[in-house]
Amino acid sequence: MTLTDAELDSMRSSLEELLPGTCVILSGTLTPDGAGGFTSTWGTASTVACRLDPIKGYEQLSGGAVSAYQRYRLTLPHDAALTAGARVRIGTLDYNVLGVTPQDNWKLDQRAEVEKI
Q: Where are the beta strands (DSSP E) in the chain?
A: 21-32, 38-62, 65-77, 87-90, 93-101, 109-116
- Find out whether 26 and 42 touch, Cβ atoms under 8 Å: yes
pLDDT at residue 104 in the model: 65
pLDDT at residue 6 in the model: 85
- Tens-place pLDDT, residues 43-69: 898 999 999 999 877 777 777 777 777
SS3 14: helix
Q: Domain 5-116 belongs to what topology?
A: Thrombin, subunit H (2.40.10)
Other beta carbons within 10 angstroms of residue 74's beta carbon come to: 23
Q: What is the pTM of this model?
A: 0.77
Distances from the Cα of 12 to the Cαs of 37, 73, 90, 113, in angstroms? 44, 18, 22, 21
Which residues of the chain are modeled with pLDDT < 70?
1, 103-106
